């Protein structure tokens, strides 16, 4: 299996160029459901240790439905198939350029949640124009078993987020373990209490929004992903969901650019334009770097061929 690994703001992406399962030629959403329900062992084996690493997201290249798209892609982490991935799309853009498949400029990418646009600025810098993002619940309170009541917004940016601002815990590297534990409890409470999307979609990510000591930075975030690891980048889909919340509350004007920082200090530049619906069209700009190009081998005799379970 031929793969290229990159990182976006410290968050790794593994682009799978060949060797993936046959998912047919249905829509990307249908192919993503097929991957989730029929090929769980495949995607876990790619990302779990010993081949993978904590936090890594896979990006399976597939044929796009629209021939005008530069690529089709299905994202997943070690626990779930994702609707969209912002840091992964930045990593994908840099990877496609590394392969000579795209040049600088704007290109369309087909994903399970719809087409997104990437603007390759240089060998490492990509601007992503995401799908329409929206806030669906404001100031809703969930009752957690270990931490009591917690109030936040539910928003969509390609995945489903429960966003707490201000964070009940200072968003700092020394508090990551504490934030992971609390965020898992919040997500479990949201699912149990059926607090999520308009059509019953469950919350799969949790965000704590805090302040940054850097004056040029708008805010710092911590993001819990479905695999119970945290996002080293500022999270593209999470930043999209947050932009929808800022717009809905009148706290950020269309076209105004801000800097969003992750818990480890990496940054995205963010802005939005109004959408035709009730949300916004987010734009996020970040940088990715190629780390390796390799061939994964799955030996039949390998006792950890399918990864180390957790």
Q: Identify whether 198 is part of a domain.
A: yes
- Cα distances from 224 to residues 210, 211, 235, in angstroms, run 14, 17, 10
Whether 52 and 160 map to the same domain: the answer is no
Whether 141 and 107 map to the same domain: the answer is no
**Which residue range forms the structural domain that includes residue 106?**
2-114+290-295
| Angle, vertex CA 217, rays to CA 7 and CA 11, nearest 5 | 15
Question: In the structure, how many helices (H) and strands (E) does the chain have?
Answer: 5, 15
What 8-state DSSP symbol labels residue 173?
G
- Helix (H) / strand (E) element for 36: namely helix 28-38
- Cα distances from 284 to residues 64, 67, 77, 90, 159, in angstroms, run 23, 25, 21, 9, 16
CATH of the domain at 188: 3.10.310.10
Q: Identify whether 120 is part of a domain.
A: no
Whether 138 and 192 map to the same domain: the answer is yes
Whether 142 and 266 map to the same domain: the answer is yes
Q: Identify whether 249 is part of a domain.
A: yes
Give the count of beta carbons closer than 10 Å to the beta carbon of residue 290: 18
Q: Which residue has the tokens 């000579």?
A: 100
Q: Which residues pair with 58 in a beta bridge?
A: 14, 76
Band the pLDDT of 277: cuts 50, 70, 90: confident
Give the count of beta carbons closer than 10 Å to the beta carbon of residue 165: 17
How far apart CA 167 and CA 210 sit, in angstroms, is: 5
Helix ranges restricted to H, 249-308: none
Q: What's residue 33's pLDDT?
A: 98
Cite the active site residues: 85, 235
Q: Identify whether 221 is part of a domain.
A: yes
The tokens describing 194, both together, are 């059926």
The answer to whether residues 279 and 132 touch, using CB atoms and an 8 Å cutoff, is: yes
Query: Does position 229 have pLDDT exceeding 90, yes or no?
Result: yes
How far apart CA 142 and CA 152 sit, in angstroms, is: 8
Band the pLDDT of 309: cuts 50, 70, 90: confident
Q: Identify whether 212 is part of a domain.
A: yes
Q: Identify whether 119 is part of a domain.
A: no
Q: What's residue 310's pLDDT?
A: 66
The 10s digit of each residue's pLDDT in 28-46 is 999 999 999 999 999 999 9
Dihedral of the alpha carbons of 167, 169, 174, 179, in degrees to the nearest 10: -80
143-148 — which CB contacts under 8 Å span 24+ positions?
143/189, 143/193, 144/182, 144/185, 144/186, 144/188, 144/189, 145/185, 145/188, 145/189, 146/181, 146/182, 146/185, 147/182, 147/185, 147/186
Whether 218 and 270 map to the same domain: the answer is yes
CA torsion through residues 298, 110, 56, 201, sign: negative
Q: Identify whether 48 is part of a domain.
A: yes
Whether 9 and 39 map to the same domain: the answer is yes
Q: Which residue has the tokens 């999209």?
A: 240
The 10s digit of each residue's pLDDT in 116-170 is 999 999 999 999 999 999 999 999 999 999 999 999 999 999 999 999 999 999 9
Whether 149 and 261 map to the same domain: the answer is yes
How far apart CA 307 and CA 248 sit, in angstroms, is: 43
| Angle, vertex CA 242, rays to CA 241 and CA 247, nearest 5 | 100
State the pTM of this model. 0.97
Whether 54 and 171 map to the same domain: the answer is no
Q: Identify whether 77 is part of a domain.
A: yes
* Structural domain count of the chain: 2
Whether 255 and 140 map to the same domain: the answer is yes
Whether 54 and 83 map to the same domain: the answer is yes
The 10s digit of each residue's pLDDT in 232-251 is 999 999 999 999 999 999 99
Whether 145 and 238 map to the same domain: the answer is yes
Query: Does position 72 have pLDDT exceeding 90, yes or no?
Result: yes
Whether 179 and 257 map to the same domain: the answer is yes
């Amino acid at each position: 299996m031929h793969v290229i690994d990159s990182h976006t703001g410290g968050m790794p992406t593994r682009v799978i160029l060949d060797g993936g399962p046959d998912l047919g030629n249905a829509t990307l959403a249908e192919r993503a459901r097929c991957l989730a329900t029929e090929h769980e062992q495949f995607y876990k084996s790619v990302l779990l240790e010993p081949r993978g690493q904590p936090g890594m997201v896979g990006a399976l290249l597939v044929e796009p439905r629209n021939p005008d798209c530069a690529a089709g892609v299905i994202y997943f982490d070690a626990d779930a198939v994702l609707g969209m991935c912002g840091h992964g799309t930045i990593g994908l853009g840099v990877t496609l350029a590394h392969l000579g498949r795209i040049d600088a400029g704007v290109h369309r990418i087909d994903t399970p949640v719809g087409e997104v646009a990437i603007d390759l600025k240089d060998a490492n810098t990509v601007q992503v124009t995401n799908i329409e993002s929206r806030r669906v619940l404001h100031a809703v309170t969930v009752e957690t078993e270990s931490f009591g009541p917690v109030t936040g917004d539910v928003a969509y940016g390609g995945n489903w987020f429960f966003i707490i601002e201000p964070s009940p815990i200072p968003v700092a590297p020394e508090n990551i373990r504490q934030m992971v534990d609390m965020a898992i409890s919040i997500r479990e409470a949201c699912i149990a209490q059926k607090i999520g999307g308009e059509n019953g979609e469950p919350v799969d990510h949790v965000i704590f929004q805090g302040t940054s000591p850097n004056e040029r930075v708008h805010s710092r975030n911590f993001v819990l992903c479905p695999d119970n690891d945290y996002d080293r980048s500022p999270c593209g889909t999470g930043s999209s969901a947050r932009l929808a919340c800022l717009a809905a509350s009148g706290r950020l004007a269309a076209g105004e650019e801000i800097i969003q920082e992750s818990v480890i200090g990496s940054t995205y530049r963010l802005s939005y334009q109004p959408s035709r619906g009730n949300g916004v069209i987010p734009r996020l700009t970040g940088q990715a770097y190629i780390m390796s190009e390799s061939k994964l081998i799955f030996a039949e005799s390998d006792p950890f061929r399918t990864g180390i379970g957790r």
